[in-house]
Amino acid sequence: MTVLDERAAALPRQHLLTDADTVRPYLHDEAEWADYGGAIAVARPGSTAQVAAVVAACARHGVPIVPRGAGTGLSGGANAVDGCVVLTTERMNDIVEINPAERLAVVQPGVVNDDLRAAVAKEGLWYPPDPASAPWSTIGGNVATNAGGLCCVKYGVTRDYVLALEVVTAAGEVLRLGRRTAKGVAGYDLAGLMVGSEGTLGVITEVTVKLRPMRTSPPRTIVGFFDSLAAAGDAVSRVTARGLQPAAFELIDRVCLQAVNAWKHTGLPEDAAALLLAQTDLPEPAAEQEAQAIHDEFVAAGAQDAMLSTDPIEAEALFDARRLAYPALEQRGEAMLTEDVCLPRGRLAEMLARIEGIAARHTTMIATVAHAGDGNLHPLILTPHGDEDAKARARAAFDDIVDAALELGGTVTGEHGVGLLKMDGMRRELGAGVLAMQRAVKQALDPAGILNPGKVVG
C-alpha cells in the first residue's frame, strides 16, 4: 500500500488533492524568489484525528510533510519540497471555546486572526497579536512563525499569548503541551518550543491563547513628518530612551505612502521622507501627558511637522495606510523581496541610514516600513519582473541588509521566520554551538526528518 492509498483511506476523496493544477497554489508562500519543489499531494484534514492519520502514513513511508496555514508567509517557510505531502489546516477553522472568566480562547489552527479578534471582542476581550496579514493569516501560521504586529511594541508577540497547544508529532501521536492556568512551570516549556518552529517539530492542531480585556480609553495619535529616515530613527530612539511606551509605533517611508495613495486615493502627504505614527492608549490624563512627551521628542529629532490627534477616524486612516503598505506596493506590478531585520532601538537610525546607502550602492529601489517601536524593520526591495540584472542587485542588497543588521547587534528575522530566505543569516547569527543544539532538538523530535525538511535547521 502506498502513502496515497493510506491517506485516501483517512480522508474524504475531495480533501486529498493530486491534480497538478489543483496542487500548484499550495506549493509556496508569498516569499519572492524562494525555491520550492513539487508535492505528490495536498492533504486537507478537518480534524486532529485526520491530521494524525496523514502524518502517521507519511512516517511509515518516509514521505516529507510540509504544514501550511494560509500561505501568507514571507520567508518560504511553507514551501514544498520534492515528493512531499503539503498538509494544509485551512479546513480546521473552528473557534472551539471563548472563556471570558478565564480570559482564554481555544481555536483550531485554521482560524483567521481577525476572525478570532472579532469573536472575542463580542465578549469584551482582546487578542493583541495583529500582523499586517491579520485579515488573511491564520492562528496556526502565526504560532508557527511567532508573528508580531502593530501592537507588539507594548503588548507582545504571539508567544506571549500561547498557553497550550495540541500537536501531532512526527510519529503521528497526538500530544497536549502547556496549560490553561495563568501560571505553571511543570517541566520544560515545550509549548514555547513549538512557537516559532515553523512546522519542523510537530503539526499544530489546536491553540489555547490568553486574552486581555478590551481597551476602553480612546487613543491619542501622534504624527511626525521627517526629512530623512535617519531623523525618524533618531526620534524613535529618543522616545525609547525617555522611557515612553506607545501602544503602537510605526514608520512608513515616502515610497510606501505614494503606493498607498496611488492605490486607495487616501490623500496622504508625500513630501516627507518618512512618517512616524505613535499611539497611546493610557487613561487620561496620562494619555495626554505621554502623547505630548512623544510629540516633543519628534520635534527634538528634527520633525518638519508634528501634530497630536484624538480623532479616531483620522487615526484609523493613518494606521490603515501602514497596514496597506505591502499590498499597495504589490499593485506596482514589480517583484518584491521582503526583509525582516530587528535592531536594538538605539541603533535604528544608523540602520535606516545603512539601508539608504545600500539602495544607492546597488541602484535598487528599497521601500521601508517598520514596527519602529521595537526596532523591527521591513525593507521591501522592488525590481521589475524579468530583469535578471536587477534581480541580482536586489539579492545583493538583501544580503547587505542582513550583514548590516548583524554588525549592529540585530537579528536576521524579527517575526517572519527563517524559512528559506534567512537560512544563511541565521547560521551566521547563531553560531556552531547553538546550531548543534537546534539540530539535537530536531533529531529528538523528528528523527526521520520528515517535518518541513530544509527549514530552520537546514
Note the pLDDT of residue 12: 79
pLDDT along the chain (458 residues), means of 10: 66 90 97 95 98 97 97 96 98 98 98 98 97 94 95 95 98 98 94 98 98 91 94 94 95 93 87 93 93 97 91 82 89 93 93 95 96 95 95 97 98 96 96 96 98 91
Query: For residue 338, what is the enclosing H or E element?
Result: strand 335-338
**Residue-wise pLDDT tens digits, 400-438:** 999 999 999 999 999 999 999 999 999 999 999 999 999
Question: What domains sit in the chain, N to C, each tagged with a CATH number?
Answer: 3-88 (3.30.43.10), 95-213 (3.30.465.10), 217-331 (3.30.70.2190), 333-446 (3.30.70.2740)
Note the pLDDT of residue 1: 54
Residue 102 in contact with residue 136, Cβ under 8 Å? Answer: no
Q: 83: alpha, beta or left, given left = phi > 0 and alpha = psi -120 to 50?
A: left
Note the pLDDT of residue 295: 97
Measure the CA–CA gap between 442 and 115, rounded to whole angstroms: 33
Rg (CA), the chain: 22
Reading the block at residue 133, the C-alpha cell is: 496579514
Phi, psi (degrees; rounded to nearest 5) at 5: -65, -45
**Residue-wise pLDDT tens digits, 342-392:** 999 989 999 999 999 999 999 999 999 999 999 999 999 999 999 999 999
Half-sphere exposure of 325 (CA within 13 A, CB side): 29
DSSP character for 214? P
Note the pLDDT of residue 268: 81
Q: Which residue has the cell 521601500?
A: 367
Q: What's the longest Cα–Cα distance across the chain?
A: 71
DSSP string, 290-337: HHHHHHHHHHHTT-SEEEEE--HHHHHHHHHHHHHHHHHHHTT-SEEE
* pTM confidence score: 0.94
Half-sphere exposure of 336 (CA within 13 A, CB side): 21
Residue 250 C-alpha from the chain's centroid: 15
Count other Cβ atoms within 10 Å, centred on residue 230: 22
Note the pLDDT of residue 315: 81
Note the pLDDT of residue 9: 67
Q: Residue 145 corresponds to which amino acid?
A: T
Measure the CA–CA gap between 202 and 111, rounded to whole angstroms: 18
Residue 180 in contact with residue 168, Cβ under 8 Å? Answer: no
Question: What are the residues whose beta carbons fall under 8 Å from the beta carbon of 399, sequence distance 6 or more?
Answer: none
Sheet (strand 16-17) strand order: 16-17, 39-43, 84-88, 65-68
